[in-house]
Every structure is written in C-alpha cells, then in structure tokens.
Structure 1
Amino acid sequence: MSQAAVDIEAQLDLTDVEPRVGQLVGGGQRRDPCSPNDIRRWVMAMDYPNPIHWDEDFAANSKLGGIVAPQSFAACMDIGHGVQPACVGRIPGSHLIFGGEEWWFYGARIRPGDLLFQTRRFHDIKLADTKFAGPTLFSRGDTIHHNQHGGLVAKERATSIRYLAAEAEKRKMYANQLPPKPRWTREKLAEIDKIRHAWILSGRGGASPRFDEVQVGDKLPRRVIGPHTITSFTTEYRAFSENVWGGYKWVAPEGVNDPWINQDAGWVEGFQIHDDLAAMDPRYRDGLYTGPSRGHVDDEYADEIGMARAYGYGATMGAWVTDYLAYWAGWDGFVRHVKSQFRGPAFEGDVTFFDAEVAAKKPESEWGVPLVALQVKLANQDGDVVVNATAEVELPLV
C-alpha cells in the first residue's frame, strides 16, 4: 500500500470494515408481494408515464396481458435503495452518497403478486483522496434478486462513497461551486414540457425498433425530467416500499457470524436510525423525517454533509436510465445490462436532460440474443453531467 493510502486510512477508521470484505451480509426482506398500486406509485415517482405500468385497460389489451412493473422496479423491492451491501461496517463520523450501480437483468418480468428475495455480498473497497471530502472510501456490494418461484430476476452491483461528513462540510465544494437555484420562466417551462410530451409519444405504443433497422450513431429521442423540487424528491423517496412502516423484516444469511444486518454505520448526529425508538414511533426508522436521507429534502442538513442544498437520489437516477432505455426498446425489447456512474447530484431547481446514442451492434452475445450497445448521458440545464452510463439492450430480429 502506498504512503498516500496509508495516510488516508489513518483518517478513516476501517477497523470494522476490512474484516467484512467478501462476506455475505444480511438486510431487509419485504414482507408482502407487490401490488398494482406499488407499481403505479413507483412510475409516478420516477415520472415514467408508460401506460403498460399503470393503465389497467391499456395493459390488459396489450401483448403483455396486464400491468407489469418496469425493470427499474427491482430496486423498489429491496431495502436501502440497493446500496446496503456496499455500506458494511462502522466508520465513525461518516456519511454516504451513492456513487453508481451496475445491473444485469435475466428476463423475468415483475408482475403484481410477485415477491423478491435477496442474497447480498460485500464485494470490495478502495481508498482515495477526493476534492469533495479528502479521505474517501469507495465500496461495492452485490445483490442478487430471485422471485418467489426461484427465478433469477436481476443482479445489482452498487458503489457507495463513504466519507467524513465534517471534512466535506469544511471543504464546501458544492457550496463554493454551485450556482444559484435556477428560476424557470413560463416560456422555459413550456419548452421543457414540449420535449417531455414528444418523448412520451415516441414510445407509448410499445413498438420495438428491429435490430437490423438500428444503425450505429442513431440517437434516441431526448427525455427530460424536472425542475426537481422538494416535492419531487419526497415523492421519489416515498415510492420505495422499504419506507412503509412495518413493511419489511431483518434477515441474515445462514452460517455467517456477525452478518451486518442493522448495525450502526457511524452516521453523524442527526442522521442516525434509531431502531430502539422506532418500535414505538416508526418515524425514527423512517430515514427522511430522521436518518441519513434527510439531507435530500432539507438545505440545512444537506450543508452539514457537504451537499449545500437539497438534492436527488442515486437510485432514482439509475432507475431513470433503465426506464429511458426500456421505453425505447418497447415490449419486444429488454434491457440486459446497464452500468451507471453518478457524476454529481440532481440539485433542487435543476432540470435533467437525457440523451443516448447507439455505439455498437452485437448480432451474437453471451445472452444468446442480439444486443445493441448504447452510450447514455444525463446532464443538467448547464450541461453539467450527472450520470454517464453504458448499456446493452436486446432488440427483436423480426
């Protein structure tokens, strides 16, 4: 290990983290199968008006035969936005932001009545020195999702960024660089609505582009979400089923000593989860009223962890990417793989624009189906990139 890494490690107490690398870990298990309204609430929060996910009459008359969940919904059937196995071990005085995620989808669609079960593993860690917070730990964790029939649905590899909250607050990177909250005129909002409406029309019928018709360099219809507000952030958070009082239980893998189910991760004052108090008042386990997510909707708390003002969720941005690709792929297409790097948050007042381009075509793939490779970029109104993603999407041959 280099001297720089030694110095970083001396500042981040990893004594409870390092022994857990490579170990299976526990987590939350949803108690109840998903309902149509769980799916509807999710697409509403993700601003994804694909009627196959919310309109019962439309879906019943489609080739899918009824409402199905979007592929992004697997994150909603989990706990901790999928980042739990990437946040293992106590680091005193720390906070966490979501750094990115990679998803593999194996073909099983989620429908009302399904219940997913997770296997989780703490994959690896990497120390770095960042402008944002100095000593910073990048850690990755894997979650494998099976349905109640034992069918393999998806795998996620999440990347968490753990850092010292006091150091990020002291450095004030975002406070020093962040422009004032944008003010949107009626004319500008009308332009945003026009782009959004055109995108909705582009895939509403579910028609899939054929593999032979797609060419390298083709661009997907542009999508837009925003302006982001406290209301939209709260709506997103409340769509995750883990936030329903009593909606999940804690589980642990068999035969694992100390499997890190619900231990104290070392959050700073004001951001902790209080399980002892939550037995009487579940708001103490809520995460938004109290707990690590409150900085997303409260400027004062956001500033305490170095984020300057209210900001969106990494898991939401990942879902946006998957939904964007799936809408283009249509009912006969399927997102097989997507890897997203979260380059910066969607701040309150921002608008997020989506653009994607076909980068390559693979007539044969390890999935046994033809795939189209795409490059995806999400950026705000100033052109600042918030997500870079690569993806592989299955398209029909005929």
Structure 2
Amino acid sequence: MAADGSNRFPKITEEGLAHLRERMGVKIENTVEPWNFEANRDNIRHYAHGIGDDNPLWCDPAYAAKTKFGKVVALPSFLFSTSRIVSGYCGGLPGVHAMWAGADWTWYKPVLAGTEFTTVAYLKDLVEHNTRFAGRSFQQIYHVDFFNQTGDKLAECDSWVFRTDRDEARERGTKYTEARGRVEPFKDEQLKEWAKLYDNEEIRGAKTRYWEDVKEGEELPRMLKGPMTVTGFICYAQGWGGLYIRANKLAHKLQVKHPSAGIKNRFNVLDCPERVHWDEAFALEVGAPGAYDYGPERCSWLTHQLTNWIGDEGFLRKSKCQIRRHNPDGDVIFIDGVVTRKYVEDGKHLLEISQKAITHRDELSASGVAIVELPSRG
C-alpha cells in the first residue's frame, strides 16, 4: 500500500517484456471462453441496447423477416462479444494495467442469427511509446480472425491495448491532472437541447441509400452519446460481457487461478480490475479521470452512426477506430462523420468516411476511418 492508503501495483519489467515477445506470431490456444459462442435474437438485442442502438434489423424479428436477410442480423460490433482477445483481454505482464485503445476491422459477410463462431488469434506486435498518461507504455497488438460454423471467414481485426504503470499514471501522469474527479453539473436547458439529437436520430432502414446519390463532402447526421453515466457503462457490459465480472464462487475461482485479476477494495476484499468502469475511487487510483466507458463500446458507437446512415442495403466493409482519451462519468460525446472519398473497386460501390467523436468541452475522444458499400442504381 502507498502512504495515502492506495494500492501499489506490479511494474512493467524487461523480463516480462521478453516473455511477451516470445509469444509474437504464435497461435493462442485455450483462450478464455467468449461471452457469446453464437448469435441469437436475445444476445444480438442485448448488445445493441448496450450501445443505445434500437435498429429493428438487429432488434425486431418481425421487421428483419421482411428484409433480404429473412432474420435478425447482428450489428457489426457484436463480434466484440465473441472474442476476449479482440476485446482487450491480453496476456503477459500480470498485474500491469491494460487500456483498450483501438481496432482495425474488416468485415466480409453479414452475421445472421444462428451463426456459431470460432476465432483464431495471435499477438502481432509490441510497440513502445512515451505517453503523458503514464510515461513509458507498450502498445500490445493482437490479430483475430472470425469464422462461422461452415468455415467461412466473417471478419478479421487488429486490436490493441496500452500496458501502463498504474502507480506512474496516478503519481506522475499529466494527461488528466485537471480532470480527475471533476464534477460539472449541467443546466436543464443544455440537456434539453442535446436530447433533440436523440429525438431526431434517423435509422435509414428500408429506405435505400444509393451510391449515386451521395457526394464527397457530405456530412452524416451528428450522433449523441451520453451524458456518460455508470449505468450506461454497466449496460454495455451486460451486452458485451466482462471477463472479470464474476460473482461469489466464480470470482474466487478466477482469483485463485489468476492472482493478478484480484485487487483489494476498501474492505480488504479482492475485486476485479474491471471496476475502473464503475468504481470512481479505484479509477482515480490507476490515473484515470474517473469511472469511464469501455473502449470497444466507443468503437461500437462509431459503427452505430455508420449503420444508421447506410441502411439495410448497405454494408460496412472496414472501420478503424483510435481511442484518444477516457470518457469519464459526466462526459457528453458528439460523433460527426463526413464522406471523404467516393470510388468503385472490384465492382463494389464504396465510400470512405472520416469520423470524429468529441466531448462537450471540444476534446477529441476518438477518431475513425470507415469504408462502406452502398447499392448502385446501375
């Protein structure tokens, strides 16, 4: 324990880094079971609702039955729930904090209810950085391939976490010096004005958007997420599934098997590191500005804006998202997108879309670049 009563945490060591580098390129065997082995009506809806997405293509079987798919479709980001690796549960450096920081997705086929999943994953790279958040940190990049029950490749993804020294982030990190524990009550007028974005949110759905009707420079409707609440973070965990969120005997068994997965709380009881997303005091201990959202959650918000806009006939081909800062309890996020390129490739009518997520204080929260395919009138 530190002098102020906070925990002292394991450090990044050269020995630990050497062991981690030995794993690069090696297929990961016996991975922890995913939250979802298959897609069905309920878990697709739970994931969608966890990010505030009520698109009937994912959530309403009667609606989905009338589309070309004939059944409920899983939203693209649902695949986060089918692999612990892509969601940031990394190996090596036990007890060292891991912050999910981005993903580079490619999707090949839509995922329908009834799909069963297998994945193949390996550690792709380990890159050293010097950060304002915690000084010396390491970007740990994984590659995951996703297959259905007949062996068809559905998608692939590179995702990464930053391994950071918790004590360094708390004691000497400068990124959130002015933001830690900050509380800024909103005025009712502000909240009412922002809520208009929810009231006016359009799900394109069955109203086909054609490639010919889109122009370079066209802006997507602004999307609102927030104001952030711990309740919202827990809603995402319900749909996505937290590896360390376990109760009673199952929590005990996990902590016996993986001692670094238990960190003592104020009652001297081992609790999971994932509680940075709902435990304000613990989030401050690791250098965060407060209890904050999940990284894959924010990536899912960006793809939510895209699927709303492209409609049932469009297909999200690629999306690269980079997380720039924590979104703590109390933040409001605005997502903007613009069409930056319009082109045809291999017979596909494609659009490149750049996205930015900013806070109500005009701080960059996340950025993304996506490729979507739209139907052509031709």
Short-chain TM bin: 0.7 to 0.9
Aligned mate of 2:70, from 65, 76, 80 = 65
Matching residue of 1:343: 324
Q: Secondary structure at the match of 1:293?
A: helix
Identity of aligned residues (%): 26
Matching residue of 1:143: 144
Are residue 94 (structure 1) and residue 73 (structure 2) matched? no
Matching residue of 1:193: 195
Question: Cα gap change, 1:147/1:14 in structure 2, threshold over 3 Å: closer, same or farther?
Answer: same
Counterpart amino acid of residue 350 in structure 2: L
Are residue 383 (structure 1) and residue 366 (structure 2) matched? no
Q: 1:112, CA displacement in angstroms?
A: 2.2
- C-alpha distance in 2 between matches for 1:182 and 1:9: 35
Question: Cα gap change, 1:242/1:130 in structure 2, threshold over 3 Å: closer, same or farther?
Answer: closer
Matching residue of 2:172: 171
CA RMSD of aligned residues (A): 2.6
Are residue 152 (structure 1) and residue 153 (structure 2) matched? yes
Q: 1:264, CA displacement in angstroms?
A: 5.0
- C-alpha distance in 2 between matches for 1:381 and 1:23: 43
Matching residue of 1:231: 231
Counterpart amino acid of residue 66 in structure 2: N
Question: Cα gap change, 1:209/1:334 in structure 2, threshold over 3 Å: closer, same or farther?
Answer: same
Contact 2:57 2:205 in 1 (8 A): no
Provide Cα deviations, 1:329-383, integer angstroms capped at 9, x if missing partner. Answer: 1111111011111001211011111100000112125xx4121001100111111
Provide Cα deviations, 1:266-293, integer angstroms capped at 9, x if missing partner. Answer: 568449xxxxxxxxxxxx9xxxx93221
Q: 1:80, CA displacement in angstroms?
A: 5.1
Are residue 28 (structure 1) and residue 29 (structure 2) matched? no
Provide Cα deviations, 1:278-316, integer angstroms capped at 9, x if missing partner. Answer: xxxxxx9xxxx9322111111111011110310001000
- C-alpha distance in 1 between matches for 2:218 and 2:226: 25
Larger relative CO (CA 8 A, sep 6+): 1 or 2? 1
Matching residue of 2:7: none
- C-alpha distance in 1 between matches for 2:46 and 2:13: 45
Are residue 15 (structure 1) and residue 18 (structure 2) matched? yes
Give TM-score, length-normalised by structure 1.
Answer: 0.82
Matching residue of 1:120: 121
Q: Which runs of 5+ in 2 are unaligned?
A: 1-10, 248-255
Provide Cα deviations, 1:55-111, integer angstroms capped at 9, x if missing partner. Answer: 222222334323211111111122255324xx232x25510101111100002x222
Matching residue of 2:290: 309
Aligned mate of 2:271, from 279, 290, 300 = 290
Q: Which runs of 5+ in 1 are unaligned?
A: 1-7, 247-261, 272-283
Are residue 370 (structure 1) and residue 370 (structure 2) matched? no
Q: Secondary structure at the match of 1:194?
A: helix
Counterpart amino acid of residue 305 in structure 1: V
Most deviating of 353-362 and 91-100: 91-100
